[in-house]
Amino acid sequence: MSQLKTLPSLLINKIAAGEVIDRPASVVKELIENALDSGASQIEVTVAEGGKKFIRLTDNGMGLSQADLPLVFLSHTTSKISTEDDLTGIRTFGFRGEALASLGAVSQARLISKLKNQPGQAGLPAGQAGAPEAYVIEMKGGQLGPCQPAAAPEGTTVEINNLFFNTPARRKFLKSNAVEMGHVTEMVTRFAIAHPNVQFRLINNKKHVLDLLPVTDVKERLRHFFGDDLVNQLLFVEEGDVQAYISNPILTKPTTRWQFFFLNQRFIRDRMIARAVRQAYAELIPNGRYPAVFLFIKTPPEEYDVNVHPTKLEVRFRHAWQVHDEILSLIRKKLLASDFVPQAPIGSAPEIASFGLPAGQAGQPIGARQALVDFFANRPPEMFPSSLPGGSGAPPIQASPGTIFTRPGPVTQTETANAGPDQIGAGQSVRFSAFQIHQSYIISEVPDGVLIIDQHALHERILTHKFKEQMRAANVYRQKLLVPVLVELEPKEYDLLSEIRPYLEKLGLEVAEFGQQTISLQAIPQILTNANLPELIHELFNNFSSDEFKNRSASKKSKSECEIADDQVTGEEFDPLLDDLINLLACKAAVKAGDALAPEEIQALLKQHAAPAYTTTCPHGRPAVFKLTLDELKKYFQRK
């Protein structure tokens, strides 16, 4: 019986039509998927001119029978599914019959196959007795040739010549050989990581690009592709159906290209997963840097739908948040349980200039945890002593151990340089000139280069920091209002009022109910003096009720379970909800991009910038400061 069936039309309609073949790499993808489906353990891909001229894939899979061959190139033919029920249980890769048909339509394709000698076929009727023969079939621009006997080893070989030869418009669309080859290599890499037990070989213009022997441990494959430096920094985590190699936070990458997610050995892109990873590393690595993560998920096919996009790169999980939460907690737990000893910066990781710290000290992604610990261990002195000793001078500021005044290392240096307004001249970064450009950035000269500051981001961070300090000291100033501000709430918001109220009060927003679904603000935190209050209130409620928020509060719960040790150190519960609200408040209170600043305002901002480091306390901010060193300038102008 023929293994291939023509899909019923109903099913065809269910499969979204698509752009299956758009470049050589996608040809390679379809062919490798087919090869893996046929049970191959060795796959060899040979290409010429980046695959534009020639692609050949040879596998040692089960092969196709003579009867199957003509069907191969027919649209919507596949051996893999035939009814709708099958669609929801897709375990194989290339369930779309279109692939080979499309290929046959846009190239000169040739397929040679020899059926594997299977025990079940030993007793075939006469005429087919003896060793099964190989057959070859060709298709040129959609014209199917006859199926003829040929000589070949067991398995299937597909050759694609002159891709898009009959569609010049699309041929033009292809990029240079090198670019297309890059895509092909990337594609083979993905499969090779997902299938460490399969031998892969990639040959381009007769040169061996990849030659990968089967291995039992995927780490060996990773080592091959990414080198010892990276692989030695990987931590392994496993729980249930998820396995992952994740990078030590010390090692970060400038983009997410070092993140590979596989679902049932299929390479996928998924925002939820990416987000879970990002959140797991939040606060542990600097903004704008990304961890390396290789994530392998196994889950029954019923749990997701790959039929979202023809390229099958995206999937839709039935329980997306659950997947997100599992991955987040898995990685987060591991990261927080590990003790990272600061190590020398790796390679040429670019330095991140921040907050007046001397170069080199700021850029290290160390001590994020330490900073959190510091943060909660410190109690700043009370803003005002409860009473002043009459007549005597002001009491000295208590520099008791554990206050921020005795923070070790570079912080102290900066601190002393800016101890008081009379010493401003001594704070070097202030002495130099500064100006604003595009009403959004401040350019400031510093001894060893130039700082480019995002005025909003910097101000936001400073405010966040100061506001938190005030909160810890229970010292939040509330500006009493002459006339209360009334805010009308949505019914949904009104329902949340009792829940959110404690938070509002902690933030310094004095709220009273005022008739139907309206609240009146009696006092506001001083930093909000010029903010749009009703808008802010709506946003606070909005944040509070958002999924992300609920999620965070859920993660807070799981955190308190897995991080008891951590909490014991800090002695105070870190409340991500409150943290989020503070960030929102600071964001609203800060100067915006587009606000013209007076010279005094610029100076004030810079002065505060030079004060103690806030680098690690604002976990969700974008980078605020970009530093161009004199060395870099010299290099650029070739003076060095």
Partner 1 sequence: MLFKNVLGQEPAARIFENILKHGRLAHAYLFAGPMGVGKFRFARELAKILLCAEQKAGSDLRPACDRCPSCRQADREQHPNLRITRLAPDEKSIKINDIRRIEREIIMKPIQGKRKIFIINDAESIVEEGFNALLKTLEEPPGYSLLILVTNRPDAILPTVFSRCQLIRFSPLGDRVLRSFFHKELKLNQPEAEVLAHLAQGSIGWGCYLQEHDFIRQRACLLERLGDPGGASRSGLAEEIIAYAQRHKKSLEGNRQRVIQQFKVLALFFYDVLLGHYGLDQYVVNQDQKKLLRKIQTASSPGDITRILEVLMAGEKALKLNANYKLVVENAVCQMNFN
Partner 2 sequence: MKITCERAQLQEAFQIINPIIPTRSTIPILQNIKIIAEKQTIFLIGTDLEIGLRYEIPAEVKETGTIILPTQRLGAILRESTDEKINIESDGHIARIKTKIGYFKILGADPVDYPDFPEFDTKKAFEIEASGLKEMIRKTIFATSGEITRYALTGVLLEITKKELRMVGSDGKRLAFIKKKSEQNVPQNIKVIAPPKGLILLERIIQDKDKKILITLEETQLKIQVPAGGSRKHPIFLFSGLIEGNFPDYANVIPSDSDKKVEIPTAEFAAAIRQAALVTTDKFKATKMILEKNTLTFFSRTQDVGEAQVKMKVSYDQKPFEIVFNPDFLIDVLRVIDEPKFTLEFKDKTSPIVLKIGRNYVYLIMPLTVDV
Burial environment of residue 555 by CB neighbours within 10 A (0 to 12, 13 to 18, 19 or more): middle
CB of 594 to partner 2, least distance (A): 15
Decide whether 105 or 109 has the Cβ nearer to partner 1.
105
Query: Do the Cβ atoms of 295 and 327 come closer than 8 Å?
Result: yes
Candidate list 1, 10, 131, 169; residue touching partner 1; CB under 8 A: 169
- Here's the x/- map for partner 2, 390-409, by CB under 8 A: it reads as x--xx--x------x-----
Helix (H, G, I), strand (E, B) or coil at 477: coil
Q: Give the count of beta carbons closer than 10 Å to the beta carbon of residue 201.
A: 17
Burial environment of residue 253 by CB neighbours within 10 A (0 to 12, 13 to 18, 19 or more): middle
Interface of this chain with partner 1, residues 519 to 538, rule: CB under 8 A = 532, 534-535, 538
Candidate list 213, 346, 383, 633; residue touching partner 2; CB under 8 A: 383
List the structure tokens of 294: 């290789």
Interface of this chain with partner 1, residues 297 to 336, rule: CB under 8 A = 310
Task: Catalogue the long-range contacts made by 513-519 (C-beta closer than 8 Å, 24 or more residues apart).
Answer: 514/484, 514/486, 517/488, 517/489, 517/490, 517/491, 518/486, 518/487, 518/488, 518/489, 519/486, 519/487, 519/489
Residue 604 interacts with partner 2 (CB under 8 A)?
yes
- Here's the x/- map for partner 1, 60-99, by CB under 8 A: it reads as ----------------------------------------
Query: Do the Cβ atoms of 607 and 427 come closer than 8 Å?
Result: yes
Candidate list 36, 64, 106, 274; residue touching partner 1; CB under 8 A: 106
Candidate list 419, 496, 497, 578; residue touching partner 2; CB under 8 A: 419
- Here's the x/- map for partner 2, 533-562, by CB under 8 A: it reads as xxx---------------------------
CB of 43 to partner 1, least distance (A): 26
- Here's the x/- map for partner 2, 341-380, by CB under 8 A: it reads as ---------------------------------------x
Query: Do the Cβ atoms of 448 and 458 come closer than 8 Å?
Result: no
Q: How far apart are CA 332 and CA 341, in angstroms?
A: 17
Residue 469 interacts with partner 2 (CB under 8 A)?
yes
Q: How far apart are CA 183 and CA 4, in angstroms?
A: 30
CA torsion angle 173 179 185 188 (round to 10): -20
Give the interface size with partner 1 as a residue count (CB under 8 A). Answer: 23
Decide whether 167 or 440 has the Cβ nearer to partner 1.
167
Residue 420 interacts with partner 2 (CB under 8 A)?
yes
CA torsion angle 562 566 567 569 (round to 10): 160
Residue 254: CB partners within 8 Å, gap ≥ 6? 288, 289, 290, 350
Report in angstroms the alpha-carbon separations of 6 from 96, 136, 145: 11, 21, 19
Beta strand pairing call for 293-297 and 259-263: parallel
Give the interface size with partner 2 as a residue count (CB under 8 A). Answer: 48
Query: Do the Cβ atoms of 163 and 142 come closer than 8 Å?
Result: no
CB of 165 to partner 1, least distance (A): 12
Candidate list 478, 538, 556, 620; residue touching partner 2; CB under 8 A: 478
**Which one of partner 1, partner 2, none is in contact with 419 (Cβ closer than 5 to 8 A by kind)?**
partner 2
Q: How far apart are CA 594 and CA 608, in angstroms?
A: 20
Decide whether 416 or 532 has the Cβ nearer to partner 1.
532
List the structure tokens of 273: 């997963």
Q: How far apart are CA 278 and CA 193, in angstroms?
A: 22
Candidate list 49, 86, 305, 539; residue touching partner 1; CB under 8 A: 539
- Here's the x/- map for partner 1, 481-500, by CB under 8 A: it reads as -------x-x----------
Decide whether 382 or 535 has the Cβ nearer to partner 1.
535
Decide whether 395 or 594 has the Cβ nearer to partner 1.
594
The one segment of 161-169, 254-262, 267-275, 565-573 that binds partner 1 by CB under 8 A: 161-169
- Here's the x/- map for partner 2, 571-600, by CB under 8 A: it reads as ------------------x-----------
List the structure tokens of 584: 């929102």
Decide whether 410 or 534 has the Cβ nearer to partner 1.
534
**Which one of partner 2, partner 1, none is in contact with 526 (Cβ closer than 5 to 8 A by kind)?**
partner 2
CB of 422 to partner 2, least distance (A): 8
Candidate list 470, 551, 615, 616; residue touching partner 2; CB under 8 A: 470
Q: Give the count of beta carbons closer than 10 Å to the beta carbon of residue 452.
A: 15
Q: Max Cα separation, the chain? A: 118
Beta strand pairing call for 316-317 and 304-305: antiparallel
Residue 594 interacts with partner 1 (CB under 8 A)?
yes
Residue 532 interacts with partner 2 (CB under 8 A)?
yes
Closest CA to 101 of 187, 180, 21, 5: 21
The one segment of 69-77, 124-132, 413-421, 567-575 that binds partner 2 by CB under 8 A: 413-421
Residue 348: CB partners within 8 Å, gap ≥ 6? none
Binding site for partner 2 (CB under 8 A): 380, 383-384, 386, 388, 390, 393-394, 397, 404, 415, 418-421, 463, 466, 469-470, 474-483, 485, 523, 526-527, 529-535, 589, 601, 604-605, 607-608, 611-612
Binding site for partner 1 (CB under 8 A): 16-19, 22, 102, 105-106, 142, 166-167, 169-170, 173, 310, 488, 490, 532, 534-535, 538-539, 594
